[in-house]
Amino acid sequence: MNAVFLERAASLETPLREAAPLAPRTSWRIGGPARWLCEPPRSEFPLWVRVARETRIPWRVLGRGSNVLIDDAGLPGLTLSTARMTGLRREGDFLEVEGGAPLSRLVREAADLGWTGYEFLAGIPGSVGGAIVMNAGTSLRPEEQIAFLLCEAEVMDRRGELRWVSPEALDPGCRTSAARRKGWVVLRARLRKPGEGSPAEIRRRISERLESRRRRQPLERPSAGSVFKNPPGGRPAWSYIREAGLAGCRVGDAQVSERHANWILNMGRATAAEVRTLIARIQEAVAERFGVRLEREVVFLPQDESGA
């Protein structure tokens, strides 16, 4: 099927890259290469998915790689990057944003417009599409989750078919959504204006949030941010990990941060295997001591894939 896939792919505008390195495309700086990598514009995404499906080539979409752990052997089949899908424009009291746009740019644009309500996204890595799929936020309060800003999203399903869906149809939860469970890709979204304020004051609040993150979080090493969801009950995951005596625990070059125990740092040449081993060790220790099973936020690729 590879020859048929390559023949069909050659008819599309965007070229393929073979054995393309993926580690530099992730915040952990970990992982092997993509068998094939493509960076199409938004209009071509459904075409690539249909070609992959019809030729039985596995596929997935990679955004800014801030919440994924790519296997050391790399990824089979086709990896579609959202690197070219970064459009953002104002339409009255809405912002239409493509899924690959960085959250940092969205925060800046909202501040320049004098729109309040986007400040909580300051410092969160990743893309708009990935943030909607994961319902990114800084707390369980609705106003500090991206679903609060969402009016509707254009999603692509596993067949390459497009449709606009409401926030209710996305069924957002704590770092999850129907899009994550069903394998939908967010190609673009319309976000609302929660309120208005002085751009200077909004920028001041953003700077304060960024400074607070720098004090609390180990940003000096590659990481994926929080590895585990906070379990029900209000107690943060990091407190279980710290009380289990795992702050500073290390497997190879993968280390639990001593500053924020829910972060695993790449201390140099950490491998995906080392990170997975450390994650399993944390889950086992916390379960044994507290009877709590910590659930991952980060996605393992290709292990967590449901298939094309």
Active site residues: 175, 226, 297
CA separation for the pair 64, 67 (Å, rounded): 8
Return d(Cα 276, Cα 165) in angstroms, integer. Answer: 34
Residue 85: both structure tokens together: 């899908």
Name every residue whose Cβ is closer than 8 Å to that of residue 14 and which is 6 or more positions away in sequence. 38, 39, 40, 41, 44, 48
Packing angle between helix 199-216 and helix 103-113, nearest 10 degrees? 150
Assess contact for 237 and 249: CB atoms under 8 A: no
Alpha carbon 36 to its chain's center: 21
Three-state SS at 159: coil
In terms of phi and psi (left: phi > 0; alpha: psi -120 to 50; beta: otherwise), the region of 262 is alpha
The H or E element spanning position 208 is helix 199-216
CB 273, CB 279: distance < 8 Å: no
SS3 31: coil
DSSP annotation of 244: T
Burial class of residue 156, CB neighbours in 10 A (0-12, 13-18, 19+)? buried
Other beta carbons within 10 angstroms of residue 73's beta carbon come to: 12
CA 60 to chain centre: 13
Token duo for residue 241: 């990990």
